[in-house]
Amino acid sequence: MDTMGFDRIAGELPAYRDRLLGIDDTIKAQTFDIRFHRGQPVTLCGAQGVFYLTESGATRALTEGLPVTTPEEMEALFLQVCGHSVFSHEEEIRGGYIDFGDGCRAGLCGTAVVENGKIKSLRDITSLVFRIPRERLGCGDRLFLEGGGLSGGLLLAGEPSSGKTTLLRDIARSLSIGKFSPSKRVAVLDQRGEISGPWDLGPCADVLKGYPKAQGMDIALRMLSPEVILCDELSPEDLGAVREAAFSGVQLIATVHAASEGLLSRPLCRALVETGAFPLAATLAGRARPGEIARIGPPEAFL
């Protein structure tokens, strides 16, 4: 039962460590995030639904008397994950998250301070969402076995918390160590530090951590001579970089937020496919079965 990611996050939260570590392993193993909301109970969200943190464990029942996160505790928690240096995390905070090492990330909610149409900072933090990082060795094997050895580009589509990053991590490692073919030079664009984290991606994986995707792709193409570029969560702003990578002859493997059905009905997915970078697509099974592939085939098969 994999509780390592949960325990790692719990270990970073001293005020809640003992209560979180004391939760039953079956709950830990299915949890994909731990959520703190100001004035509300701590919630553990996962494949089996929502559990609420109690003084001695966790319960499904939202009842009176559950311990809640006070404004003072929320402020202390925010400062603690920032390492008491909000300034050093300003760029991340503008992006809505804090990276606190080893693949651990906390999403932020609060009031945006906007200047000239751009987010300058965040104040009055109201929620912190800690994503649980996990490794599932072999979860990407089906893509190699049924996807022609992944000799071309691949677009992985799934809803939030369906295991896209976990799957991408396993693909990167398999390519790097040569699990199904000779090892390939892999450039991993790990903008938020979630793909690489503390995990071993093998001897042929070069990780560009914290780079915006367009700049990361440009540096990878010019300096690293990759055979494959992997990146997570493409957005409309990345279309130009994807086209450049496709024209360069490098294989691109990337993820995108999309429902498992009607992949090409989403304008972004359709535009990505039209770049020619993704002759193969795959959809994930969903939150209840994170990291599991639902379908594999050419993009047009997902209409």
Question: How far apart are alpha carbons 160 and 260 in whole angstroms?
Answer: 11
> Chain centroid to CA 57: how far?
27
Structural domains of the chain, with CATH: 4-131 (3.30.450), 141-302 (3.40.50.300)
What does the block give as tokens for 218? 């440009």
Residue 265: DSSP 8-state: G
List pLDDT tens digits, range 124-170: 999 999 998 888 899 999 999 988 888 889 999 998 888 899 999 99
Whether residue 53 has pLDDT greater than 90: yes
Question: How far apart are alpha carbons 220 and 239 in whole angstroms?
Answer: 16
Give the residue-averaged pLDDT of 172-179. Answer: 96
Its pTM stands at 0.85
In contact, 32 and 132? CB cutoff 8 Å: yes
pLDDT of res. 133 = 84
Confidence of residue 171 (pLDDT cuts 50, 70, 90): very high
Largest CA distance in the chain: 60
